[in-house]
Structure 1
């Protein structure tokens, strides 16, 4: 798939125009611009958007530290509602899977149902305080998995945040009536986990690119011993190392998106590609954040400098929707299951 340059330019213009390094919470101006441009439902069946397009959008969002739940609304909650045959609510959305298979760092919780009323708490819900609705799937049997659409306005919100100050709130429902209920195909909760990991990988690749760009710019401006620090070989070597990590993250996440687009999320090769991408992007996040702060020195750790916007997201996102260890375990398990004769086709997608 070729890169959608028009979409990239549109995304960069929206996030650049609404960029505010001092603000926190939902960026309503950026969200409105994304809604009006159709970016909040980019991969809906009637739009013609692909996972490759979503990758372009999310990379730009990561690079700009955009404060909008694009992945949560489109790739996760919107997809899940459509899979269950229910209407996708308007506004910012999030999706939550309930069950033992949920990866650490993902939203979760417990819900009970009495008649048509739902009670319980959903934990670490992205952007919970600003959502219109939450789409919940409960892991179930082979005949399908129950999906509930809950009105976020009926929840009691306990505010919290990740290290990047992005909302990760607990939503408590007491006798709430769902906006809609439906049944998604068996395996929907597992697919939601893969979709979340893919989305997080794409955001990580973008944030790593943003950290590298800021570091290169600063190295060209900061003068020490009569010349820019970017002229020193040691700094050049660090930036080259960061560049290789950014390239690896971009390649791994883009390959996972292409595999998912072509083979579907139920395919073994997609599960392998997404696991490899999330693990590799997490490793890149650690290296790039370290190098970026080394290049910037003490100023990069201050709240006044916008480097923190991308490096804190690198640290937060590498541990959300499954950390490096979780996805490396999945890579290893897939390799063992494939065996000596199946490993090459699994890695390359070729017989």
Structure 2
């Protein structure tokens, strides 16, 4: 399918986003195959929509402050997940209802020493931290601030080192996400002197997990290509938030160029992001990157649903879950998450190619 990167594409994506709006600042994840949980959830999808419109330069300044106020309404002074966390109570209800039996069985297997499954409490804590990070980064992306300080994270040398060293760096995708969240929180929530201290210790801590051969961040044997690239993306986003450089941009470029691109939304945008950020540090293999981006653009447009004018997360299938909650039925239709990710990927490709047809912003996730 030949789709041009032009104003018509931009308009079609904006129209799709507008078609998903159910109330002011509240969005459905898809138009057709939405589940009851997909109807109920609000915070995450509102962040997705705001970030998408930020990329497309289509935010209405008159409504932006009200949108930020809407997001800030989810921040709680008192919470089981830490003071100042952003909590969508409907998400908690949906997660508990959908996963009750699954986690009961996992707990039972753990008790019988027949498994070593991560418990619901830990998964929920990670999910709420991720939602909090997403809300805070979204709000700061558009030059606003969250209404209460969020300080439920490690800040000093000992606590930062302890937290990061306790992560499983054999799985850098998850560990990298936790590192990235600490970086966002440190940059946006701490006073300058505290931030400078945290920044130094965050950088020193992540340096321990650099693989000097590949440039990636992990421990032990090198994980799968998908795990390595997605972990790299998370770590680099964190380093970007605290204004620190990745350790080996040329080696990262070599690694990323050696990988066969996957077709899932996250995999595409993570590969584009890693190469985009590394290429900002060096002109090394710039031509090869541009050529790969041409191939990736073709893959991205395989996700384009012409009738809806936007993108699906999977090929011929919408994103189905949001942090463990089933939000769509997986129909062959465009979805909010896929549209955000692949529009973001295209914005980086446009920037590298110095394409002046569209003036899209680059997201800072």
Q: Same fold (TM over 0.5)?
A: no
Q: Give me the TM-score of the superposition, normalised by structure 2.
A: 0.26
